[in-house]
Amino acid sequence: MPPTFIPGIELSRAYYREAVRPILDGRFPDLAHSAAMLGPGSEVQGFDTARSRDHNWGPRVDLYLRAADREAHGDAILAALSAALPRTFRGYGTHFEAAADEPGTILAADPGDGPLKPYIKLLHVPSTMRHHLGVDLSRPLTVRDWLGFPQQRLRALTGGEVFHDGLGALEPMRRTLAWYPDDVWRYLLAAGWRLVGQEEPFVGRTAEAGDELGSRVVAARLVRWAMQLALLQAKQYAPYTKWLGTAFSRQEQGSALERHLAGVLDARAVADRERSLCAAFEELARRQNGLGLSAAVRETVSPFHDRPYLVIHGEAIGEALEAAITDPAVRALPPGVGGIDQFVDNTDVLSHPRQFRAVGAVWDAAGSPLSIDARPAGAHPAREREARERDEREEEGREQGDRAPYAPTRPDVLIPSTFPTLTTERLTLRALAEPDVDDLFAIFSDPAVMRYWSRPPMQEKAEAAELLHGALEAFAQGESLRWALELRAHLEAPVIGTVSLFHLDAQNGRGEIGYALRSADWGKGLMHEALTAVVDYAFDTGGMDLGRLEADLDPRNIASLRSLERLGFQREGLLRERWTVAGETTDSLIMGLLRRERIRL
């Protein structure tokens, strides 16, 4: 007989405090960590039931560590927990296995006499946030960021519970994501009301035309928009579709609005359906006025033009909200488009950052500057925006390229879903992997290799781990490719360098190339061999269909300059005093290669 059901978040809170934390404090007393239950899962929102116990449920904890601590102590922490944790907790087993036929599914299992495998993850806060949202939260969030975040993802990170925040990073993150900036909120509410206005007369019109089924379908769609509007008005992110009704009902607690919407779905006659729908929208209009976000709007229904269908005129409420927006970045957005949840209803898109971040072109097309941040009085918005976007681009370049970026990033359709392995006469170019950290540190801590880079040599192995994890996440999010170079002649070949394609711009068919090679292998033509393979992949064999590649290098780096010129790159411009590294200010030489020039070589 299964044990009495305990809500998952209560079970995990007790598991951390009574079982996990004492082991950490005893074995690793100086280890700073945070512990939480965040992310997807019904138990995070408190929606779990006994049925939820069949997968991805049980005594579990996410532990967040500094990157250096995870690298240095991760294996020891997991080993200590495996050895000391109880095999059951509150009647539930603590051993878990990945389901063989369902990727991503974790099941409780019997460990037998084998070692315990607890459901505990060792995570890194910045990496985890990038995994969930596809962005780096260390920079100010833009309008495009806010509109492109699925609400279910925001709810997953702001719901749940932080059991302990020794790193001091989780709670600030949750405060940042707690709710939209006011003008973004207005814009989303306006879009929601415009959605209502688009279809509210069709309940009566379809029935009048003899389409009773069509009338019910339109009414059901309007009920869903009404539920989402109610959550927006209450500053509640909407959850995954399965739990939308649960979240709405818990908020409304049998309110008049809930009764009206239930009446819409229960109605057999169109007159009853329309009456309940009108009552629901009148209630939402009253609530809208109560928020004080715009000039007062009409709270009663009236005929749709000269036709007999009664409507709240959602488009007029949307216009009133849009008129109250003052932020120029939000005002520049196209009316009625709204956030991603208001025009995308595909779980596979809303659940994966690579897909939902690609939707950003919808807002780019409006010509909006797409930035939002608190500005001191008298600040110049356009200049601040330009500086901020330049800083963001340059920071991305320091992390991923040979030098800094030259063109803005547009992660989109260029990256394949499976990492491409390339081979040359002497080299294999493959995806980076966890065992490569030592080799990466050896390369990027060498002052000779880093002489002309836009960052100083690495000082700690944790920096190499961050580089590796950043590269893996950038590939997963469709932003860049970073190959590890290894010699084919060696059975256990070390990584001797990397080559990257990044800042990929699908719309304009261009990208940037960056690379590094350990100093022991200079002068052997190996980097030219690797670059040739990557350039061919970018232009021809990889299906990326790029028309242009760019490189940014220190003009004093003669060896790198010659390698690029052998490939056909041309010198296109000098950006003076662009980089300052370790007190030394240097120029940037911009090199470019066109596909048609490469084909002629």
Give, for 304, the enclosing helix (H) or strand (E). none
Please tell me the distance from the alpha carbon of residue 197 to that of residue 12, in angstroms, as a whole number. Answer: 45
Q: Is the dihedral of CA 63, 67, 68, 72 positive or negative?
A: positive
pLDDT at 361 (0 to 100): 65
Please tell me the distance from the alpha carbon of residue 80 to that of residue 547, in angstroms, as a whole number. Answer: 53
Ordered alpha helix ranges (H), 234-345: 244-252, 256-266, 270-291, 314-323, 328-331
**3-class DSSP assignment, residue 410:** strand
Give yes or no for a contact between 231 and 247, defined as CB atoms under 8 angstroms apart.
yes
Bridge partners, residue 431, by sequence: 483
Length of the chain: 601
Give yes or no for a contact between 415 and 481, defined as CB atoms under 8 angstroms apart.
yes
Give yes or no for a contact between 567 and 541, defined as CB atoms under 8 angstroms apart.
no
The residue type at 351: S
Please tell me the distance from the alpha carbon of residue 267 to that of residue 265, in angstroms, as a whole number. Answer: 6
Rg (CA), the chain: 28
Question: Which CA distances in Å does 157 have to 151, 351, 372, 373, 401?
Answer: 10, 13, 21, 21, 30
* Backbone φ, ψ for residue 293 (5° rounding): -90, -10
Give, for 372, the enclosing helix (H) or strand (E). none
**244-252 and 212-233 helices cross at what angle (nearest 10)?**
60
Give yes or no for a contact between 544 and 414, defined as CB atoms under 8 angstroms apart.
yes
Q: What is the mean pLDDT of each run of 10 residues along the chain (601 residues)?
A: 91 98 97 95 94 94 93 92 96 90 84 91 89 84 93 96 97 96 98 97 96 97 98 97 95 96 96 97 98 97 94 97 95 92 90 77 51 31 36 34 35 70 92 90 92 88 91 86 87 84 87 93 92 91 83 90 90 89 85 79 40
Task: Give residue for tokens 């909006």.
Answer: 368
* Backbone φ, ψ for residue 157 (5° rounding): -90, -25
How many Cβ atoms are within 10 Å of 111's Cβ, its own excluded?
15
Kindly state the tokens that stand for 66: 């500094």
CA 107 to chain centre: 26
575-582: list long-range contacts, CB under 8 Å, 24+ apart.
578/404, 579/403, 579/404, 579/454, 579/554, 581/453, 581/454, 581/455, 581/456, 582/456
Kindly state the tokens that stand for 311: 């409507």
Tell me the three-class secondary structure of 73-105, residue by residue.
HHHHHHHHHHHHCCCEECCEECCEEECCCCCCC
As a whole number of Å, the end-to-end CA separation of the chain is 73
Beta strands in 149-278 (DSSP E): 161-165
Please tell me the distance from the alpha carbon of residue 135 to that of residue 154, in angstroms, as a whole number. Answer: 13
pLDDT at 385 (0 to 100): 38
Please tell me the distance from the alpha carbon of residue 325 to that of residue 191, in angstroms, as a whole number. Answer: 13
